[in-house]
Structures are given as C-alpha cells and as structure tokens.
Structure 1
Amino acid sequence: MRCDGEQLTVQGEAAAGQTRCVYGVDGVVCLATTSYDGQPTATTPAGNCWRQRLAAHHLFDETPLSSDPMAEAPDSRRMAPAPTNIGALPEEILLRVMSYLPTREAVHTCLVSPYWRDLWRSVPCINVSIMEFKDDDYEDDFEREVAFKRFVNHFLMLRNPVPLVEFRLTYSMSDDDRSDSDDANDWISHALQWNARVVKVVNQHEPLEIDHEVFTSSFLKRLHISSADLFPGFFSQLQTGCPALEYLFLFDCLIMDHEIFSMTLKVLILSKQIAFSDQASISAPSLIYLSIEGDIQSGRLPVLKSMASLETASALISGAITDCDADAIRQFLGGLSNVTSLDFRYRDQKLTMEKNFQWCPRFSKLVNLTLNRSCVHAEFYALIVFLQNSPNVKKLTLKLNQVCVLGHIGYASAITGELEDRSFTCEQLQIVKIKCSETSEMLPRVTQFLHARGVRPDQMRINRRN
C-alpha cells in the first residue's frame, strides 16, 4: 500500500474484505479496504482518514474486521493470550517510555495492538525532526519539507489536550522563505500553550527568525535555540513572559538586543558563533553558571554586570572580537571575580600587557582554575598573574594541547608582559592537572616551573593524548 500526496492506493496482496492501516508519505496513518477480488474497493484521502479513525474501532488493526486470533484454533487449545511484559505496564509508564521515541516512531506504535491505538495522542514529550524524513523517497528537499510540515501539523491537531513536558524540534531552513519561520513559531507557540517546561529548537542551514512574542508561559524552565535571529525585545519578552525560565542555551545565534537582562536565569550558555549587533551587557543577579564558548562576533567583549550569585564561568576569547585589548579583558574578568570555578581560554592575537597594569582582578573565592596554552606562553606571565590573584586555588588545570596559531597573520596566541615580582603563594593548592599531546615540547618546562614553586611530583596529574 502507498499513499501518494493526498490519495491512498493499495499495492501488493491483501486479504479480501480486509481493512488495513498504512502510512502515507507524510507519516500519517491512512485507511484502505480490499474487495473480495483482491482489488481496492475505495481509496481514502489522507487528510480525512484520521477523522474516520475516530469512529472506526478497527482502523488500526492489520486483521479483518471479524478476525479473532483464536477463532480457528481447536477448543482444546483455546486460551486467553498472555499479555506481553511491556503491554502489562500501566499507561503512565508506557507514555513515559514512549516519550523517549521520536514522535514519528511513537505514532507507529498504534499498530502494536488495539490497546496501543491512541497512546501516542497523550505522550507528554514531542520530538519532531526533519531528519527522520531524509531516507524517504522524495524528489527534492522542498517535497521533504512539505511532508514534514504536513506531519507536524496533523500530529499537533490530533493529539489529546494534555500538558507537555518537553517539545523538541529539529528543523531545516533551506532558504529565506518566511513561511518556514512562521511554521516553527506556530509549533513553539502550541507547545507553550500546553505548558511545555522544556523547549529545544535545533535549526540547520539558514537562520530561523524567532518571533519572541510567542514566549509567554509561566511553565517554561529550559530553552534551547540554535541557528536563529533574535530580534530586539527577545530578552525583555523572556523576562516578562517566562517568569520561571532558569536555563537558556543559545547556539549560533544573532543577538540584536544590547542588554541581556534576567532576574530568573540560573544557567546561560552562549555557544559557537554568537553575534551581537553591538557591544552587549549581561545582567543576571541569579545566574550561577555562565559559559561563553564560541566565537563572539562583536566589536568588543560583553560587559558583565550584577553577577553576585555566579559560581562557575567558562570563557573563550577568540579572534572574532575585533577590539580586544587589555582594558576589555580587565572589565570582562572583573565581572567574574566572585566565581569559585573559572575556565579561561584566550585564542586571539598576541596581547602584551603594559607593565604594572592591573588587568586581572582578585579572585578571593576561586577554588578551581583552568587555563589554556596562551596563559603559559612567554615565561608563564599570565599564569603567574592569575595565581598571584587566586590565593585559595585548590585545583589547577593547564591545557597545553590547545594551540591557536593565526596563520594568516603569523603569530601565536598569547598574553605576555613584564613582572617585577614573579612570586606567588598558593598554600591551598592540592592538585595540578596537565593536558597535553604525547610530543608536547612545553611539558618539561611547565613541570620544572611548578616544581621550582613548591608543587610536588605526586600533586601533578599528566594526561597525554595524541
């Protein structure tokens, strides 16, 4: 059987008078009945078959209407079929198990048995992905996208009115068609209307144009967005429209707001290529974890304000920042001065600090410190400055294998400068982890430097990788 476009046809052999449930190209279940001469008696439009299913008890059965699995068995052998292990589980547990399935596969479970016929309609997690349609026989990407949209729209229309726990969308924007963004925004809005606590939108190719007005929910706690344009007003809408939001993950997004402000966020992750239309400020009094892991495509580093609750920070400063100087780093690190754990990596051009310039703040609460190769370069200048300002560090991690040589300019990434006083005291230091390659030329120099400063060999943990 095959469903081409909106019309269902029957192919192959089928039992006379048998009603079968089959899938169309858009993944929607359709109804077909075969006559006693083996030919289809009718074809059912795919768009209407779901409504017929609501009134037809046998719609999802693969067996004839009058079929009884035990009807042809001798009376002496007839017995009630034993339930399978999974079928004996309570519906609440079955729905939870089905929540881990992609939505298209969850719909397929309607063919397991009559009991499973409508379970998919109440699954509390939706996971729709255009990648599930990549192996289907479509003429081009446009036809695949149309089938995907049709499936999602049908599914959302037919699911039961039950609250959602999570909504995951994997989408593909192949061109600048505004309607593609409109569809995605409608789906996100639907999920939030049904109280989704987690929303994850993974987009590919062209950026998705997010309509921030859809973000109105007192239930949303976690939001993931990748490859999208976030227009002015996005963060103010999150602040007023989503008072329970605690976790925000942005991947490869253009942020057009100049101020990122939130009283509720506890985790903020900016990953891969994050572009600001201008220098931005980040203010989040409740923030506990901050990660800026990608290329910040902006003129200057963002200004960090009101980070009193911040405990853990991970920052990568790369060559995408066109105006990164000593003062910008001083201001940026100043916003992180209260953290207990800091992972700082510098992968920009060689930066020479002026003598006696106080670019590094006092990290009085810092316990775990991670630095990359650029801070160990040039007579350990940056490493010494960090340790001089981190008297309570207990664990130090040095990543010597992360090298960044800007070949088009011809210099190695490094923070350098002169120090009159190269001494430091880390009485709390307990362990030093060194990550490097098997052939690292810096390792002997680093271990010698640490040993001369009182770090014992048994305190060093060296992890060599190719």
Structure 2
Amino acid sequence: MAPPCPDRLSGLPDCLLHGVLSGLGSRQAVRTSLLSRRWRQLWRDVPCANIDEREFADDTWERFEDFADHMLTSIPPNTQLDAFRLHLLRGKDTYWSSFTFPDRWIRRGLRHFPMTIDIRAASHSFWLPYLPSISPNSLDTVSSAASYYRRLTTLHLVQVRIHDSFTMYLGESCLVAGARGAPHGEVQYNHK
C-alpha cells in the first residue's frame, strides 16, 4: 500500500488560498470548509462574493435563497470585496413579484465596497435598489455615493434597470475617485 500523499495545499498561506477560492463560485468555496479544520473558516475571508443561481440548478429556490442570505451575512463587517457578483436565472413567478430578494442581496454586497459589481438577471429586469445612504432625501448624497463607489472600477449590469440618479451619483463619485488617482473604470450596461 502506497503511503498517503502529503496535503501541500493546506500548507499554503491564507492569502494564496483566498486567491484560489476567489476563482470558485461561492457555493463551491463554502464546500471547501469540509476539507479540514484549517479550511473551515477560510471561505469567510475570500474577497469575492459570487452568488450564482446556476450552482443551484438541481435545488429548490429556498435553498438558493438561504445560501445567498447566509453567504452575504457571513462576510466580516469591515471586509472590502474585490468583486460582488449576483447572477439570477429564474423568472418572474419565483421572485420578481417581490423585489426583496435581489434588493436585499445587492444592498448587502455593496456594503463591502466592491471594486467590481456584476449583476445579471436572465429573464426579467429589475431595478437596482437605492442604497440607504444614497436615497434622494439624503443630506449629502454625493459624499454618501462616493463612499459606496470609491473603489468601483467595473460595473456590469444585465437586465438591471438603473435610476437616473444612480448615474449622477456614480459620476460624482467617479470624479472624486479620479481626483485621488484611481484608474478609469469600465461600465457595461445591457438592458433588452
């Protein structure tokens, strides 16, 4: 019988393992917690939240909903994300009549100041929600927007409608970010 192979992957530093886990969907990253005690909490510090309904093709909507809620509430409060991705497949009958699910997940993801925002809906469009500090009644909407979007370099929206005020806030925050030497970002907006 051959001797067992040593576990070289677990010997890597956390920053490298986080890089590896960032390339996985969030569900796959969470599943790595079963590998060993060392891996149990690693997924919580991955700088990307990739909530993708395609990973739940054989599951019920409720399992996907529970996972998305748990994933986004498990990110440590002061963590800044490199990327927040939300890809939704199911149609209007599942969640579009009540916008609470996409709104809630988007708000939770944006609280972590992602550099990349990628939100895609496959069948029905929905509105990108107002963020609490960027509501039209906010006293200082430009600086509030700048705080949310200060790190934003890439915005990719498919089947997501945006309010006119969003582009104004985004433009103002990009001017603020540009003044600090931030690189020019990329914006893609696809609405059919």
Alpha-carbon distance between aligned partners in 1 of 2:40 and 2:118, rounded to the nearest angstrom: 28
Output the amino acid matched with 2:32. T
SS at match of 1:159: coil
Alpha-carbon distance between aligned partners in 2 of 1:155 and 1:223, rounded to the nearest angstrom: 21
| Bigger helix fraction | 2
> What are the residue-to-residue correspondences of 1:208-219 with 2, within 5 Å?
208-213=126-131, 216-219=148-151
1:146 offset after TM fit, Å? Answer: 2.7
2:188 paired residue number? 249
Contact residue 157 and residue 188 of structure 2 kept, 8 A: yes
1:130 paired residue number? 53
Q: Quick one: which of 83, 87, 111 aligns to 1:170?
A: 87
2:157 paired residue number? 225
1:184 offset after TM fit, Å? Answer: 1.9
1:237 paired residue number? 169
Output the amino acid matched with 2:160. A
Alpha-carbon distance between aligned partners in 2 of 1:228 and 1:158, rounded to the nearest angstrom: 25
1:187 paired residue number? 105
Contact residue 173 and residue 207 of structure 1 kept, 8 A: no
Q: Quick one: which of 140, 152, 162 aligns to 2:68?
A: 152
Alpha-carbon distance between aligned partners in 2 of 1:107 and 1:119, rounded to the nearest angstrom: 8
Contact residue 126 and residue 168 of structure 1 kept, 8 A: yes
Q: Deviations over 1:376-398 (max 9, x none)?
A: xxxxxxxxxxxxxxxxxxxxxxx
Q: Deviations over 1:37-75 (max 9, x none)?
A: xxxxxxxxxxxxxxxxxxxxxxxxxxxxxxxxxxxxxxx
Q: How large is the Cα RMSD of the aligned pairs?
A: 2.2
Output the amino acid matched with 1:206. H
1:231 offset after TM fit, Å? Answer: 2.8
Runs of 5+ unmatched residues, structure 1: 1-80, 137-143, 254-272, 274-466
1:168 offset after TM fit, Å? Answer: 0.9
Contact residue 166 and residue 199 of structure 1 kept, 8 A: yes
Q: Quick one: which of 114, 121, 126 aligns to 2:37?
A: 114
SS at match of 1:87: helix
Q: Quick one: which of 199, 211, 216 aligns to 2:117?
A: 199
Contact residue 153 and residue 186 of structure 2 kept, 8 A: yes
Q: Deviations over 1:176-210 (max 9, x none)?
A: 73433x32233222222212100100111111211
1:85 offset after TM fit, Å? Answer: 1.8
Are residues 160 and 83 of structure 1, via their aligned partners in 2, closer, same or farther at CA, if it must alter by over 3 Å? farther
Structure number with the bigger relative contact order (C-alpha 8 A, sep ≥ 6) is 2
Contact residue 120 and residue 160 of structure 2 kept, 8 A: no
Q: TM-score, normalised by structure 2?
A: 0.76
1:246 offset after TM fit, Å? Answer: 1.9
Alpha-carbon distance between aligned partners in 1 of 2:80 and 2:106, rounded to the nearest angstrom: 14
Are residues 89 and 96 of structure 1, via their aligned partners in 2, closer, same or farther at CA, if it must alter by over 3 Å? same
| Bigger strand fraction | 1
Alpha-carbon distance between aligned partners in 2 of 1:131 and 1:237, rounded to the nearest angstrom: 32
Contact residue 120 and residue 159 of structure 1 kept, 8 A: no
SS at match of 2:80: coil
Output the amino acid matched with 2:44. R
Q: Quick one: which of 89, 99, 107 aligns to 2:12?
A: 89
Larger radius of gyration: 1
Runs of 5+ unmatched residues, structure 2: 135-144, 178-183
1:147 offset after TM fit, Å? Answer: 2.1
Alpha-carbon distance between aligned partners in 1 of 2:108 and 2:69, rounded to the nearest angstrom: 10
1:226 offset after TM fit, Å? Answer: 0.1
Contact residue 193 and residue 217 of structure 1 kept, 8 A: no
Q: Deviations over 1:13-37 (max 9, x none)?
A: xxxxxxxxxxxxxxxxxxxxxxxxx
1:119 offset after TM fit, Å? Answer: 0.5
SS at match of 2:24: coil
